[in-house]
Amino acid sequence: MTDQPIGSVSGSEVSEADGTDRTAARTIASLAIVVGIISLVLTAALLIPYYALQNPWIIPVFVVAAAGAIVAIVLGRRSRRAGAGSRGSASLGLAAGLTALLIDIVLLIVFIVGIWSPPLNRVQLEGTGPQAGVTASFSGDTETRTLPWPAVGSAQYTTAKSSTWITITAPSDSENQTVGCKIYWNDELVVEETSDSGTVSCEYDAD
């Protein structure tokens, strides 16, 4: 019987360790490839609806997501061929794929929230009247408001509602003064009225 020197490692132990490392590397590499493919497909699918928004800021986000997915696939395939010594590359590929997948998930959540949120309409109400003492009543986003109004005044707000109105009233001693009102809906002039009776109303319903 031959004694094995203290501190030495047998060939079978080295082979077993190498096999374990090789298996771990292949597993991580396979995960990197799968995650990379999923991320790349999801990025391509999200690109279509986001492209319709024509927002330049979204381009770098998609570039990073696509690059991460491609890096994951490339490093994963390379690591599967290289064997045990490529565990670091496989881990890097998996990290890149997970980063891309996280970006895609955030983009998907933002897109879904945007779909379920009602579109907001931009409203601008304008009113004209005498130099002093004019009041305006109008519908805001959440409530009706009555305010002192300058000779030429305006109010802007956004709303999910489909209608709005404004009434301009001159003071009692200026009942014969000309008053006017305008409604702009999403930057388009939709209603314009004038009156010599001291009061005028504008109403608009998008439906």
Question: Which pairs with CB-CB distance under 8 Å and at least 24 residues apart come from 84-91?
Answer: 84/18, 84/19, 84/21, 84/22, 84/25, 85/21, 85/25, 86/25, 86/29, 87/21, 87/24, 87/25, 87/28, 90/25, 90/26, 90/28, 90/29, 90/32, 91/28
Q: Is the pLDDT of residue 176 over 80?
A: no
Task: Supply the mean pLDDT for the chain.
Answer: 84
Q: Give me the pLDDT at residue 11, please.
A: 47
Q: Give me the pLDDT at residue 18, please.
A: 54
Taking residues 5-17, report their average pLDDT: 49
Q: Give me the pLDDT at residue 22, please.
A: 75
Least confident of 64-78, 106-120, 137-151, 166-180: 106-120
Q: Give me the pLDDT at residue 131, please.
A: 78
Q: Give me the pLDDT at residue 184, please.
A: 96
Whole-structure pTM value = 0.54
- How do residues 82-91 score in pLDDT, each as one tens digit? 765 567 888 8
- How do residues 35-77 score in pLDDT, each as one tens digit? 999 999 999 998 888 877 767 778 888 999 999 999 999 998 8
197 or 140, higher pLDDT? 197
- How do residues 119-128 score in pLDDT, each as one tens digit? 788 999 999 9
Q: Which helix (H) or strand (E) holds 36?
A: helix 11-53
Residue 79: burial class (beta carbons within 10 Å; 0-12, 13-18, 19+): buried
Taking residues 97-115, report their average pLDDT: 89
